[in-house]
Amino acid sequence: DAGVIQSPRHEVTEMGQEVTLRCKPISGHNSLFWYRQTMMRGLELLIYFNNNVPIDDSGMPEDRFSAKMPNASFSTLKIQPSEPRDSAVYFCASSFWGQGIYGYTFGSGTRLTVV
Amino acid sequence: QKEVEQNSGPLSVPEGAIASLNCTYSDRGSQSFFWYRQYSGKSPELIMFIYSNGDKEDGRFTAQLNKASQYVSLLIRDSQPSDSATYLCAVSRRLTGGGNKLTFGTGTQLKVEL
């Protein structure tokens, strides 16, 4: 199992540019989560998909952020336009939701720097 | 009040000692509780979970849950330098739209000294 795959690993961009982060969840998992991690705020849930449908996007900070999950094996998180305060590590995680208790498996993360 | 609170540390313990990490949560509807370990520059990895009051042991790790006090802890016996990391407490509740939502604390940094 390749685990949760995120790309790119690092992204440096200029303020105002569009940034797209990508995620491939573990095959068979039906829940996908996008988190942002900073020193000050820790891990914050941005958006959550269940069976490719967005269930909770209350953590998306502004309209500049959008996320899609067109199929069970791919999701994107887009920031347009990007700002320096968006600099953080963005994690994608997936899980199986059903009977029982399941933790999340995290991808390696994308370290975003907006200058 | 934060939903999940942890002391940021650092918590320093000598090699071979017991490390005790604590976490409190505010949502009484929380159903399952998780401990993740995160090395610097890496992603969080699941160590163990607990959902019933009492203790749960897995190797050198013991998770303890007290729902009445809304308190979760993680004990690491025979601490090793390789245990030096940030430990994240997470609580879960089911969502009406399906699935579980994990809310994380900001983590406790553990340093195991030689």
**CB-CB neighbours of B30 under 10 Å:** 22
What is the least distance, in Å, from the CA of A21 to any CA of chain B? 16
Residue A102 — very low, low, confident or very high, per pLDDT cuts 50/70/90?
confident
Please judge whether A108 and B42 are an interchain contact, meaning their C-beta atoms are less than 8 angstroms apart. yes
- State the SS3 of chain A: CCCCEEECCEEEECCCCCEEEEEECCCCCCEEEEEEEECCCEEEEEEEEECCEEEECCCCCCCCEEEEEEECCEEEEEECCCCHHHCEEEEEEEECCCCCCCCCEECCCEEEEEC
> Where is pLDDT greater, at A95 or A84?
A84
What is the least distance, in Å, from the CA of A115 to any CA of chain B? 20
**A5-38 pLDDT per residue, tens:** 999 999 999 999 999 999 999 999 989 999 999 9
Distance of alpha carbon B66 from alpha carbon B1, whole angstroms: 19
What does the pLDDT average to over A56-67? 92
